[in-house]
Chain A
Amino acid sequence: MGGIDPILLLASLMVASTPILLAALGEMVVERAGVLNLGVEGMMIFGAICGFAVGVGTGSPSLGFLAAALGAAALSMLFGVLTQILLSNQVASGLALTLFGLGLSSLVGQSYSGIKAPPSLDFDIPLLSDIPVLGPILFQHHPMVYLSILLVIGVWVLLRHTRAGLILRAVGESHDAAHALGYKVVAIRLAAIAFGGALAGLGGAFISLVRVPQWTEGMTAGAGWIALAIVVFASWRPWRVLIGAYLFGGVSVLQLNLQAAGFKVPVQYLAMSPYLITILVLVLMSARRRSATAQAPADLGKTFHASS
């Protein structure tokens, strides 16, 4: 593969994967709590404009990210109230949330197209970033890249090793049983939805503040749907979500690099490769143990009412 610098490739791979990773991780937590929120795309794009608007307004990308998380979480609460309190259909509400988020963000963003993002310097970890090879790959990124990986670890610990995670999973597996044990199913699910919204918002803001960086209507261009698919193919497990997101982002970047380097593979195959490879790998991984671990949360997408 003449001409491709693997160091630069790995570095841009991490940048390209982070938005999908954040959104997919958030959605995974939501689904583990038994809620199917198809509004990821809407929350991402709303986070993208919230983050961009506040980032431009205050000149601080960090405040932008904060606003993106809060804004998208607020938007997700719309879905939360509809599905958890008013007991409406989750699929329909989620799709509506996506459409609403796309519309709302273009309304909010009208005066922001053509404006440049505030400069967000990459965050060089002192000393470590000077290590040859490893330094530029691992230690010279935007802080959000590290935060996304820390979040994967955090979510894994939470779900696997804490009581709170056990309760969250119990709510997702059998809300009736969890309710009988005295857990507040609706409150827990609302919290999970807000967390998912906040992460989707961060993912969107990463696109508008770091990866592109500018505001353009519809700029997430389907990343939210990719995130949703990755959750399923990763069989609802945090490390597999990480692998899936990095595979997808990685192969997407790799195929562009292969094209740029004039690699002799028909472009059509390169263009479809991110989808094929990601699905293939994750399906093979989950096929190893076809038992309960590969299954969706049992109460995924079911509405809960305390009287039932």
Chain B
Amino acid sequence: MQRRQFLATTAATALAAATGSVAQAADKVKVGFIYVGPVNDGGWTQHHHEAALEMVETLGDKVEMVYQENVPEGPDAERAMTQMALDGANLIFTTSFGFMDATINVAAKFPDVKFEHATGYKTAPNVGVYSARFYEGRAVQGFLAGKMTKSNKIGYIASFPIPEVIRGINSAFIHARKVNPDVEFSVIWAFTWFDPAKEADAATALIEQGCDVILQHTDSTAPQAAAQKAGNVYTFGQAADMAEYAPMPRISSIIDVWAPYYIARTEAVLNGTWESDNTWDGIGAGMVGIGEISSAVPADVKAEAEALRDSIAAGEYHPFTGPLKKQDGSDWLAEGETADDGTLAGMNFFVEGLTGDIPS
């Protein structure tokens, strides 16, 4: 049996070599996942992992899943990916922005292996990128934050100064200002995706500065715990629902919904139809979910937030709609104009009204 399988594999390899890189269907595919944090971080990585498991459950024994957690963003990421490719993975998902260059480098060495890089912007014939329009969810969060704050000070724990994070800050700020012109944002750059103690310290620092709403773009639930300890502070779940902190302090959340994408892309490899893509879906396509708005939010505010969510989902409203100016006062979008994806993908500026500089 094993020998027969070996012969079959050899034949398939020979065929593949003979026919070049012509796409072909496969019986079984080995899918690898590279995670930046632990699979039970309660946020980003856990959600990727759960989506991966859902993909395995859906596709059954046509797929073999391997993963490596806690992979640092740096040279070691290349090693982890290379190892996975050498071990026979056909499709590798690299699930953090900082894996971008490593993914491109390793992909160049393994032209027959498909790579999918989350939240990046560099593609290659065998590298696709996928991300979610989190800024759509941030618009809903910003709206709720502007409505719920009493001190008019909103804290934002940012991770790294990359476009995805900056978009989130801008989107939240625009919508908080829209419903509450007095609102101010304090942004802390934590320079980490995952460091519970530091995230807790950052949340505490913001709360001590008088912030009563905390938004986070880091992966752990530590800021939630800090907010709970402080009492009257509202937070939002990030990447995962973090429902264990509902109804207070967590009043809503952005949920990443990766499973349909993972299933579709793995099936594409199985069918031999995989092509490098650049997927960027939002609430409408179901890639961004808005977690249950908790009972701590008044019913009318909740209804308005849901209306905002639905209008974004339906494509009637774009969170970056003019008139909008950049932080330095220069014009960005004219009345009624919406931001194009190119600008959003490379966003490296704050909108007017935000204070502080983006570290460069």
Genuine A/B complex? yes
Contact call B188/A212, Cβ cutoff below 8 A = no
Instruction: Please give me the residue from chain B that is nearest to A115 by CB atom.
Output: B244
Chain A contacts for B249, CB-based, 8 A: none
With contacts A221-B194, A268-B359 taken as known, whether A114 is within 8 angstroms of B202 at the C-beta atoms is: no
Binding stretch for chain B, among A88-96, A147-155, A162-170, A249-257: A249-257
Chain A contacts for B222, CB-based, 8 A: 212, 214, 216, 219
Is A262 part of the binding interface, using a Cβ–Cβ cutoff of 8 Å? Answer: yes
Contact call A5/B208, Cβ cutoff below 8 A = yes
With contacts A212-B197, A216-B38, A262-B355 taken as known, whether A116 is within 8 angstroms of B244 at the C-beta atoms is: yes
Contact call A271/B197, Cβ cutoff below 8 A = no
Closest chain-B Cβ to A39's Cβ sits at a distance in Å of: 18
Is A223 part of the binding interface, using a Cβ–Cβ cutoff of 8 Å? Answer: yes
Instruction: Please give me the residue from chain B that is nearest to A268 by CB atom.
Output: B359
Q: Which of B190, B205, B211, B226 gathers the greatest number of chain A CB atoms within 10 Å?
A: B205
Is B209 part of the binding interface, using a Cβ–Cβ cutoff of 8 Å? Answer: yes
Closest chain-B Cβ to A80's Cβ sits at a distance in Å of: 27
Closest chain-B Cβ to A257's Cβ sits at a distance in Å of: 5
Is B220 part of the binding interface, using a Cβ–Cβ cutoff of 8 Å? Answer: yes
Chain A residues numbered 207-242 whose CB sits less than 8 Å from any CB in chain B: 207, 211-214, 216-223
Contact call A266/B196, Cβ cutoff below 8 A = no
Is A3 part of the binding interface, using a Cβ–Cβ cutoff of 8 Å? Answer: yes
Is B189 part of the binding interface, using a Cβ–Cβ cutoff of 8 Å? Answer: yes
Contact call B198/A218, Cβ cutoff below 8 A = no
| A and B contact pairs by CB, cutoff 8 A, 24 listed | A4-B209, A113-B42, A116-B244, A207-B196, A211-B200, A211-B201, A212-B196, A214-B196, A214-B222, A214-B225, A216-B40, A216-B41, A217-B40, A222-B195, A223-B197, A252-B198, A256-B188, A256-B190, A260-B206, A261-B209, A262-B356, A266-B357, A267-B357, A271-B189
With contacts A266-B359, A271-B191 taken as known, whether A256 is within 8 angstroms of B201 at the C-beta atoms is: yes
Closest chain-A Cβ to B327's Cβ sits at a distance in Å of: 13
Chain B contacts for A261, CB-based, 8 A: 186, 209
Is B126 part of the binding interface, using a Cβ–Cβ cutoff of 8 Å? Answer: no
Is A16 part of the binding interface, using a Cβ–Cβ cutoff of 8 Å? Answer: yes
CA–CA, A243 and B201, complex, Å: 20
**What does the 1/0 interface line of B9-47 toward A look like (CB < 8 Å)?**
000000000000000000000000000011011100000
- Choice from B70, B201, B244, B357 contacting A12 with Cβ under 8 Å: B201
Is B252 part of the binding interface, using a Cβ–Cβ cutoff of 8 Å? Answer: no
Chain A contacts for B200, CB-based, 8 A: 211-212
CA–CA, A220 and B74, complex, Å: 20
Is A140 part of the binding interface, using a Cβ–Cβ cutoff of 8 Å? Answer: no
Contact call A260/B37, Cβ cutoff below 8 A = no
Chain A contacts for B356, CB-based, 8 A: 259, 262
Contact call A113/B201, Cβ cutoff below 8 A = no
Closest chain-B Cβ to A61's Cβ sits at a distance in Å of: 14
Closest chain-B Cβ to A262's Cβ sits at a distance in Å of: 5
Q: Interface residues of A toward B: which range? A: 35 or more
CA–CA, A106 and B187, complex, Å: 32
Across chains A and B, which 4 residue pairs bring their CB atoms closest together, nearest first?
Answer: A217-B38, A267-B359, A256-B205, A221-B195
Is A110 part of the binding interface, using a Cβ–Cβ cutoff of 8 Å? Answer: yes
Contact call B42/A12, Cβ cutoff below 8 A = no
Is A187 part of the binding interface, using a Cβ–Cβ cutoff of 8 Å? Answer: no
Chain B contacts for A267, CB-based, 8 A: 189, 191, 357, 359
Closest chain-A Cβ to B222's Cβ sits at a distance in Å of: 5
Is A8 part of the binding interface, using a Cβ–Cβ cutoff of 8 Å? Answer: yes
Closest chain-B Cβ to A41's Cβ sits at a distance in Å of: 13
Instruction: Please give me the residue from chain B that is nearest to A214 by CB atom.
Output: B225
CA–CA, A9 and B208, complex, Å: 8
Closest chain-A Cβ to B264's Cβ sits at a distance in Å of: 29
CA–CA, A206 and B359, complex, Å: 32
Instruction: Please give me the residue from chain B that is nearest to A271 by CB atom.
Output: B191
Instruction: Please give me the residue from chain A that is nearest to B244 by CB atom.
Output: A114
Instruction: Please give me the residue from chain A that is nearest to B39 by CB atom.
Output: A217
CA–CA, A257 and B155, complex, Å: 11
With contacts A216-B221, A256-B188 taken as known, whether A221 is within 8 angstroms of B197 at the C-beta atoms is: yes
Instruction: Please give me the residue from chain A that is nearest to B224 by CB atom.
Output: A214
Chain B residues numbered 43-73 whose CB sits less than 8 Å from any CB in chain A: 70
Chain A contacts for B357, CB-based, 8 A: 266-267
**What does the 1/0 interface line of A131-159 toward B look like (CB < 8 Å)?**
00000000000000000000000000000
Chain B contacts for A252, CB-based, 8 A: 198, 201
Is B204 part of the binding interface, using a Cβ–Cβ cutoff of 8 Å? Answer: yes
Contact call B208/A12, Cβ cutoff below 8 A = yes
Chain B contacts for A217, CB-based, 8 A: 38, 40-41
Chain A contacts for B40, CB-based, 8 A: 106, 109-110, 113, 216-217
Closest chain-B Cβ to A272's Cβ sits at a distance in Å of: 9
Instruction: Please give me the residue from chain A that is nearest to B359 by CB atom.
Output: A267
Contact call A260/B197, Cβ cutoff below 8 A = no
Closest chain-B Cβ to A275's Cβ sits at a distance in Å of: 12
Instruction: Please give me the residue from chain B that is nearest to A110 by CB atom.
Output: B40
Contact call B197/A219, Cβ cutoff below 8 A = yes
Q: Which of A9, A16, A110, A260 gathers the greatest number of chain B CB atoms within 10 Å?
A: A260
Q: Which of A212, A253, A266 gathers the greatest number of chain B CB atoms within 10 Å?
A: A212
Chain B contacts for A19, CB-based, 8 A: 197
Closest chain-B Cβ to A102's Cβ sits at a distance in Å of: 9
Instruction: Please give me the residue from chain B that is nearest to A257 by CB atom.
Output: B205
- Choice from A221, A260, A271 contacting B196 with Cβ under 8 Å: A221
Instruction: Please give me the residue from chain B that is nearest to A259 by CB atom.
Output: B188
